[in-house]
Amino acid sequence: MKTIIEPFRIKSVEPIRMTTRAERERLLSEARYNLFKLHSDDVIIDLLTDSGTSAMSAAQWGAVMTGDESYAGAPSFYRFEAAVRDLVGFRHVIPTHQGRAAEHLLFTLIARPGDAIPSNTHFDTTRGNIEAAGAEAVDLPIPEGRKPAIEHPFKGNMDLAALEAFLADHGPRTPAVMMTVTNNAGGGQPVSLENIRGAAKIARAHGKPLFIDGCRFAENAWFIKLREAGQGGRAIPDIVRDMFALADGMTMSAKKDAFANIGGWLAVNDDALAEAARTRLIQTEGFPTYGGLAGRDLDAIAQGLKEIVDEDYLRYRVRTNAYVTERLDAMGVPVVKPAGGHAVFIDARAFLPHIPPLQYPGHALACALYEEAGIRGCEIGTVMFGRKPDGTEAPAAMDLVRLAMPRRVYTQSHADYIVEAFEELTARKDALRGLKIVKEPKMMRHFRAEFEKV
Ligand code: F0G
């Protein structure tokens, strides 16, 4: 059969509250044109994030009931640890309440003021935690990664020549190399095994550890299976094991590729680093066998990790985004190509060329999509990345809108509704206006900034 169906049946549903355009215009204006300030029951299709929004399976809800809430040594922890280790292999697995807590733990331990940490592209919380430690977060994607319309099978790859040159120049102030799989900020694009191997080799030659931000590791492994020479016949868990065997450790948000609503971990091989991390964990997150999570969350993650590497699921998952991307492309909406693993990315700078980057075309498009159809997406562009640590503002490399697909939540007709919203927007896009920021916090301004239409 050609049709790739949702490989699940729906056992439990949540109603969606429908709204009118007039209501949405009022709600967005009251929210100061910041989509993060909306109440989620005022959103019809919520594509703000794929993080923590997965539909858990019956088996996960069953596992929740077996959760053991003991402070120390709960069986839930050992089931979690075994499930994580089975896929990633690291010696020490340290639970955290979500991915950024793992990043905070890692960077407060390894980064010092004046240091620099290169990556294919840091996610915003990773960047925030590196900068909070006084260090610099440096992005070294391949050039294709910054050109939305160019097709490349592994657009998330790191520019290895740039990494080599960076370490030659800045080796003494570089405590580690990072690699984000898939490359979320760069469009949900995958990284090849060959590229991870290359980065690991360069890092090792300079005596630096390689850490993988593994949030969407299963989607990355699926793309490796589909696109990398010699990988087509291999099982997903084996590809996953190969990816992590090249690294010295990882940070993880279990809110993505573990189908959990909360959770994460830091995993490392280095005994001394693990010891320091566990000591810090007790101060900030909790005892090392729960790390800020309930035992039931640990069990949901353990079960989710078994389900996430299922090929029928991954085939459907990646197809959902490819379907919307292809439909938008066919109607002339500029999209990041090929489709990423967890989201559809629209090139708002190309879609709305009359709005200059410092009037935030990505944000303008995200606001218009909400007003038009009640769909909530997220700007990944100059609002998110334009304010530099020295206080100056400059256009980001790209102005994208991300429509992130929650896992196992929406169906084909929701996808068609999204496409129809773009038909409507395309017809009146020249009338869309940019925005200006009237209030912003010091860091990660996109979450809480307030805007006015210009
Ligand atoms: N790294 C990447 C690549 C991410 O996408 C995220 C979160 C994190 C780290 C932090 O994990 O949320 O559990 O603390 N991304 C979400 C998103 C928020 O919408 O892309 P967290």
* pLDDT tens digits, 41-98: 999 999 999 999 999 999 999 999 999 999 999 999 999 999 999 999 999 999 999 9
Q: Which atom of ligand 1 is nearest to the CA of 49?
A: 19
In this structure, the strands spanning 450-453 and 378-380 are unpaired
Provide the β-strand partners of residue 92: 268
Q: Which residue has the higher pLDDT, 274 or 389?
A: 274
| Residue 198 Cα to ligand 1 middle (Å) | 25
The average pLDDT across 191-215 equals 98
CB 410 within 8 A of CB 54: no
- What CA–CA distance (Å, rounded) separates 247 from 226? 22
pLDDT of residue 6: 95
**Cα 172-161-400 angle, rounded to 5 deg:** 100
User: Residue 371 pLDDT > 90, yes or no?
Assistant: yes
User: Residue 261 pLDDT > 90, yes or no?
Assistant: yes
- What CA–CA distance (Å, rounded) separates 451 from 453? 7
Q: Which atom of ligand 1 is nearest to the CA of 180?
A: 3
Nearest alpha carbon, ligand 1 atom 1: 123
| Residue 243 Cα to ligand 1 middle (Å) | 19
CA distances (Å), 43 to each of 20, 318, 366, 367, 370, in order?
11, 24, 13, 12, 8
User: Residue 331 pLDDT > 90, yes or no?
Assistant: yes
Q: Which atom of ligand 1 is nearest to the CA of 182?
A: 3
User: Residue 444 pLDDT > 90, yes or no?
Assistant: no
Ligand 1 pocket by C-beta < 6 Å: which residues?
A: 49, 51, 98-100, 123, 125-126, 180, 184, 213, 215, 253, 255, 264, 404
User: Residue 389 pLDDT > 90, yes or no?
Assistant: no
User: Residue 279 pLDDT > 90, yes or no?
Assistant: yes
| Residue 330 Cα to ligand 1 middle (Å) | 30
Residue 76 tokens, joined = 């839930």
| Residue 123 Cα to ligand 1 middle (Å) | 7
**Cα 237-241-242 angle, rounded to 5 deg:** 120
pLDDT of residue 95: 98
What are the strands, taking DSSP E only, across 177-235?
A: 177-180, 210-213
- What CA–CA distance (Å, rounded) separates 404 from 377? 7
pLDDT of residue 388: 85
Nearest alpha carbon, ligand 1 atom 2: 123
Rg (CA), the chain: 21
Q: Which of 54, 107, 125 to mutate to test the pocket of ligand 1 (most atoms within 8 A of CB)?
A: 125
Return all residues near 217 (Cβ < 8 A) that are at least 6 apart: 87, 88, 181, 240, 243, 244, 252, 257
Nearest alpha carbon, ligand 1 atom 12: 99
Q: Which helix H or strand E contains 402, and what residues bound it?
A: strand 400-404
The average pLDDT across 166-177 equals 97
Over the stretch 288-311, which tens digit does the pLDDT of each residue have?
999 999 999 999 999 999 999 999
Tell me the pTM: 0.96
Percent of the chain with pLDDT over 90: 95
pLDDT of residue 449: 97
Q: Which atom of ligand 1 is nearest to the CA of 263?
A: 13
| Residue 415 Cα to ligand 1 middle (Å) | 23
- What CA–CA distance (Å, rounded) separates 325 from 149? 12
The average pLDDT across 393-407 equals 95
The domain over range 21-50+311-453 is classified in CATH as 2.70.170.10: no
pLDDT of residue 124: 87
Residue 314 tokens, joined = 């991954």
pLDDT of residue 105: 97
User: Residue 34 pLDDT > 90, yes or no?
Assistant: yes
CB 212 within 8 A of CB 196: yes
| Residue 51 Cα to ligand 1 middle (Å) | 7
CA distances (Å), 421 to each of 284, 369, 370, 372, 381, in order?
44, 7, 9, 7, 21
pLDDT of residue 163: 98
Q: Chain-wide mean pLDDT for the chain?
A: 97
User: Residue 149 pLDDT > 90, yes or no?
Assistant: no
In this structure, the strands spanning 378-380 and 400-404 are antiparallel
End-to-end Cα, the chain, rounded Å: 50
Q: Which long-range contacts (CB under 8 A, 24 or more apart) does 428-432 make?
A: 429/351, 429/352, 430/354, 432/352, 432/355, 432/364, 432/365, 432/368
User: Residue 234 pLDDT > 90, yes or no?
Assistant: yes
The domain over range 58-307 is classified in CATH as 3.40.50.300: no
Query: CATH 3.40.640.10 residue ranges in the chain?
Result: 58-307
Q: Which atom of ligand 1 is nearest to the CA of 50?
A: 19
Nearest alpha carbon, ligand 1 atom 5: 184
- What CA–CA distance (Å, rounded) separates 362 from 360? 5
User: Residue 442 pLDDT > 90, yes or no?
Assistant: no
Query: CATH 3.90.1150.10 residue ranges in the chain?
Result: 21-50+311-453
pLDDT of residue 352: 98
| Residue 148 Cα to ligand 1 middle (Å) | 21
Q: Which atom of ligand 1 is nearest to the CA of 342?
A: 20
| Residue 445 Cα to ligand 1 middle (Å) | 16
CA 238 to chain centre: 22
User: Residue 9 pLDDT > 90, yes or no?
Assistant: yes
Cis peptide before 182 (omega within 30 of 0): yes
Residue 401 three-state SS = strand
| Residue 98 Cα to ligand 1 middle (Å) | 8
Q: Which atom of ligand 1 is nearest to the CA of 264?
A: 13
| Residue 429 Cα to ligand 1 middle (Å) | 30
CB 40 within 8 A of CB 14: no
Nearest alpha carbon, ligand 1 atom 19: 49
